[in-house]
Amino acid sequence: MDLLSRQGLRTDGRRSGELRRIRCKMGVFNQPDGSAYLEQGNTKVVAAIYGPHEIRTNRAKAPNDSAVINCQYSMATFSRSERKRRPRDNKSAELTLHLKQAMATAIKTDLYPKSQIDIFVQVLQSDGGNYSVCVNAATLALIDAGIAMEEFVISCTSSLANGETPLVDISHLEETMGGPSLTVAILPISGKIAMLETSQRIHINHLEPVLTEAVRGCRYIYENLNKIIKKHYEEIGGALNWGTEEYNI
Amino acid sequence: MSLVSLNEAEKVYIIHGVEENFRCDGRSRQDYRPLELEMDIVSNANGSARLRLANSDILVCVKVEIDTPLPEAPKDGKIEYFVDCSANATPAFEGRGGEHLAAELSRFLCLAHGPVFNLSKLCIVPGQSCWKLFVDVLILECGGNLFDAVSLAAKAALCNTSLPNIVGTYEDGQNIDLQISDDPFDTKPLEASDLPVLVSLCKIGNSYVADPTIEEEICGAGCIVVSVTPKGNVTAVLKKGAGSFMPDTLNEIIMSGSHIGILLNKALNETLIQDMSSNVCKQQYGFLK
Amino acid sequence: MENRIVCVPGQRLCRLDSTHTLGKGTYKRQDYIYSSLAGIVNVDNTNNKISVVEVLSKDQTIVPAPGDIVTAMVTTLNQDMCKCLITSVCGHELNETYRSSLRRQDVRMKEIDKIDMLQCFRPGDIILARILPMTEAHTFKLTTAENELGVVIACSEYGHPMTPISWTEMKCTKTSAVEYRKVAKIVQDNADENT
């Protein structure tokens, strides 16, 4: 099976530059300070934020002037087509570190000294690009929690088909079929890269087009999420009477 | 586990309210909070259900696999329960924090479903192959009364499960190779409407309440969880928490639990039947609603 | 909602110049003001020379910072210091308590060596205190060394609430027994705010 057919269609019917359908909802749960649900195609992720609150883990090593960010990435046992035995294992631990690294670039930790922000991400259904969807869901949840961030952190994946055409937002089938895959997390407005990871070998000549495609995918996701969040806040703001005299902070 | 702490005045208020049969949210002692159930949430599982009981959010998925039966029970299939307390529910569940609760829940579910669930339905070829069901429970948010919510969701997911049909067997001497149908709609539903449902009754002051909230669980002196089948039979009883019960009170509580269990089962069955009959143009909401 | 601009984190709001300054929920980067929260942009024009650009958002979680006046509850006591739980900051109640400690020498300004902690606080008292500047320590350090800081609500040994008589004594409302505390001097105008 080819990743890209002769008509230019991928295995799920998309063109090489198309992303999967994005649907999201903010404020899914009551108990966490912020929560969000995001699905890109068939990958569904739920993120919850607790904080800022008192530091619970490792108070001795806590920096005095900024917040500690604590992440956990876990996959449900039923998320893949084959049942996974344990929700959290070594691979999850590695992705947890990457998640922390990506989110720490954007959160303004100096506003919350001596406190801890918990980011918990749960993958409900996995169909490729898990890490990317988790980063995007975590960004939405942080905004929902009201934690000050410099800007969004958006992530996207891309790959190479037939040795020459870059594909954006790859699914699980495309990940496992053998092509190299690249995951990048960027801060869209400043254009900086927060996290970059590739698997397998990519020829140096191909690196630039694949990276550009991934960044373009990130920008597309950013614009979509931007619109959705603004609409959400316009509805909430209207209901809560923001901006009027009675609202006292 | 919970982030809620109550002071003396709040506890006294709750206890007085319960004695007068008027709880903090206006319910009587036997009333349940509103329940929302949605099926078929996860598309790559054989059966799934999501239940929202006020603030508690539980997602249950059932997956099936072909396995060999145990030598001492060649005509029985297998069923395995796994509960995962996600850190989304409380930061205390991070890492291995929720393991105790998870172990207790999965053990008691197994105990409760054991006497009722007829494992021989899962048998394909006696002694050679059988179905193994994996029931995976994911706790996304804790709003009190986890046992009830988990058991309702698990029963709904099992009722929603359908086993793929076996279309052919290839016998090669001792080995039998099974061919499972490729058609996703060629399935046989699992008969699970006899499964019991857990009812938690929490003792507060001198009376007991069903469906306790987190605050009521904290003020309570002890909790009895009763597993009740649709006919009213009790399959398992568990006592949680520190607090003791007189034998007469215990009897009373179990009888009361049995009555509540019959009503709960009836409501669940009606919902499931309604859901299955309106299969034609069902709109999928998932978490988006 | 008339003409309110809804902004998201990272959105550029306006140019940073002599007539606009940063308010809450914003940060500056390269001569422009950017928003760091999701909410509504509000330009505060009360001061004629400078308008403050800020972002109004829903209630956020507040973190105690040095210099804030906090309400805390005393949990344990020994001769050197007492441990407290900070329950609210500047009048805003926190979702979760923060641990803090109050050292002996920060209880009051005069006669520091003669302080007996048992005569200043008891476990269960609610106190008003100020957070000291951060040091290397892991917990917040509090001080009550001002007239308006100290015990606000306390219960006597017999379990009844007490009212203040002087700055070192409180009287039980039921039994009229007098107990020693370091009492906060609450100015009459703000009496409602502090209950």
**pTM, whole model, 2 decimals?**
0.87
The closest CB to that of A125, out of B44, B89, B90, belongs to: B44
Judge: A122–B65 Cβ closer than 8 Å, yes or no: no
- How does residue B139 score in pLDDT terms, banded at 50, 70 and 90? very high
Check if B141 contacts A (Cβ < 8 Å).
yes
Least confident of B24-28, B102-106, B125-129, C128-132: B125-129
Closest CA to A160 of A129, A203, A195: A203
Instruction: Residue A151: list chain C partners with CB under 8 A.
Output: 9-10, 34
Instruction: Residue B55: list chain A partners with CB under 8 A.
Output: 30-31
pLDDT tens track for B196-223: 999 999 988 888 899 988 888 888 888 9
Same domain, C82 and C33: no
Distance, in Å, from the CA atom of A51 to the CA atom of B287, rounded to the nearest integer, reads 23
The reply to whether C190 falls in a domain is no
A13 CA: distance to closest CA in chain C (Å): 33
A236 CA: distance to closest CA in chain C (Å): 10
Residue B2 has pLDDT above 70, yes or no: no
Looking only at the bridges linking them, the beta strands covering B78-85 and B129-141 are parallel
Burial of A247 per CB tally in 10 Å (0-12, 13-18, 19+): middle
Judge: B55–A30 Cβ closer than 8 Å, yes or no: yes
Same domain, C29 and C72: no
Check if A205 contacts B (Cβ < 8 Å).
no
pLDDT tens track for A72-129: 998 888 888 777 777 777 888 899 999 999 999 989 888 888 888 999 999 998 988 8
- How does residue B138 score in pLDDT terms, banded at 50, 70 and 90? very high
Same domain, C90 and C52: no
The reply to whether C52 falls in a domain is yes
C97 or B156, higher pLDDT: B156
The closest CB to that of A29, out of B45, B63, B141, belongs to: B141
Same domain, C11 and C49: yes
Residue with tokens 């449902």: B197
The reply to whether C13 falls in a domain is yes
State residue A157's pLDDT score: 92
The closest CB to that of A31, out of B55, B94, B136, belongs to: B55
B222 forms bridges with which residues in the sheet?
A: B203
The reply to whether C195 falls in a domain is no
Same domain, C83 and C11: no
Q: Helix, strand or coil for residue C59? A: coil
State residue C1's pLDDT score: 41
C131 or A88, higher pLDDT: C131
Judge: A37–B63 Cβ closer than 8 Å, yes or no: no
Residues C188-194: what's their mean pLDDT? 48
Q: Looking at chain B, which subunits does it touch, using at least 3 CB pairs closer than 8 Å as the criterion?
A: A
State residue C191's pLDDT score: 46
State residue A245's pLDDT score: 45
Same domain, C139 and C105: yes
Residue A45 has pLDDT above 90, yes or no: yes
Check if B286 contacts A (Cβ < 8 Å).
yes
Check if C63 contacts A (Cβ < 8 Å).
yes
Closest CA to C87 of C147, C137, C129: C129
The reply to whether C162 falls in a domain is yes
Residue B40 has pLDDT above 90, yes or no: no
Residue A244 has pLDDT above 80, yes or no: no
Q: Return the CATH number at C119.
A: 2.40.50.140
State residue A37's pLDDT score: 93
Instruction: Residue A189: list chain C partners with CB under 8 A.
Output: 10, 12, 34
Judge: A233–C6 Cβ closer than 8 Å, yes or no: yes
pLDDT tens track for B146-191: 899 999 999 999 988 888 888 777 777 666 777 777 777 778 888 8
Same domain, C150 and C79: yes
- How does residue A248 score in pLDDT terms, banded at 50, 70 and 90? very low
Same domain, C43 and C97: no
Check if A233 contacts B (Cβ < 8 Å).
no
Residue B163 and residue B79 in contact, taking contact as beta carbons nearer than 8 Å? no
State residue A132's pLDDT score: 93
Structure tokens at B240: 């949680």
In C, minimum Cα distance to A50 occurs at C61
- How does residue A46 score in pLDDT terms, banded at 50, 70 and 90? very high
Size of interface A-B (CB pairs under 8 A): 89
Same domain, C74 and C39: no
State residue C59's pLDDT score: 67
Domain count along chain C: 2
Same domain, C166 and C117: yes
Check if A31 contacts B (Cβ < 8 Å).
yes
Residue A156 has pLDDT above 90, yes or no: yes
Looking only at the bridges linking them, the beta strands covering C51-56 and C39-44 are antiparallel
Residues C3-9: what's their mean pLDDT? 79
Same domain, C52 and C72: no
Judge: C10–A188 Cβ closer than 8 Å, yes or no: yes
Q: Helix, strand or coil for residue A21? A: coil
Check if A169 contacts B (Cβ < 8 Å).
no
Check if C43 contacts A (Cβ < 8 Å).
no
Closest CA to A45 of B59, B209, B120, C120: B59
Residue A143 has pLDDT above 80, yes or no: yes
Q: Return the CATH number at C37.
A: 2.40.50.100
Residue C193 has pLDDT above 60, yes or no: no
> CA distances (Å), A73 to each of A78, A90, A93, A96, A103, in order?
15, 11, 7, 5, 13
Q: Looking at chain A, which subunits does it touch, using at least 3 CB pairs closer than 8 Å as the criterion?
A: B, C
Judge: C134–A237 Cβ closer than 8 Å, yes or no: no
DSSP designation for A16: T
State residue C2's pLDDT score: 53
Domain of residue C30 covers 6-56
Task: Count other Cβ atoms within 10 Å, centred on residue B240.
Answer: 16
> CA distances (Å), A157 to each of A104, A137, A165, C145, in order?
20, 15, 14, 58
Residue A247 has pLDDT above 50, yes or no: no
pLDDT tens track for B48-87: 899 998 888 999 999 988 888 888 888 888 889 999 888 8
Check if A83 contacts B (Cβ < 8 Å).
yes
Residue A61 has pLDDT above 70, yes or no: yes
Q: Among residues of chain A, what percentage have pLDDT more than 70?
A: 94
Distance, in Å, from the CA atom of C143 to the CA atom of C147, rounded to the nearest integer, reads 11
The closest CB to that of A146, out of C27, C60, C98, belongs to: C60
State residue A167's pLDDT score: 87
State residue B283's pLDDT score: 64
State residue B1's pLDDT score: 39
Instruction: Residue A78: list chain B partners with CB under 8 A.
Output: 42, 44-45, 48, 61, 63, 134, 136, 138
Judge: B91–A50 Cβ closer than 8 Å, yes or no: yes
Q: Which helix (H) or strand (E) holds C123?
A: none
Same domain, C26 and C101: no
Please provide the average confidence, as pLDDT, over all residues in chain A: 85
What is the ipTM metric for this complex?
0.84
State residue C111's pLDDT score: 81
The reply to whether C95 falls in a domain is yes
The reply to whether C19 falls in a domain is yes
Distance, in Å, from the CA atom of A8 to the CA atom of B159, rounded to the nearest integer, reads 43
In A, minimum Cα distance to B55 occurs at A30
State residue C116's pLDDT score: 85
Residue B149 and residue B140 in contact, taking contact as beta carbons nearer than 8 Å? no
DSSP designation for A107: B
The reply to whether C63 falls in a domain is no
Closest CA to A20 of A161, A216, A213, A170: A170
Structure tokens at C176: 């009229």
Residues B126-151: what's their mean pLDDT? 88
Judge: B90–A88 Cβ closer than 8 Å, yes or no: no
Residue A69 has pLDDT above 60, yes or no: yes
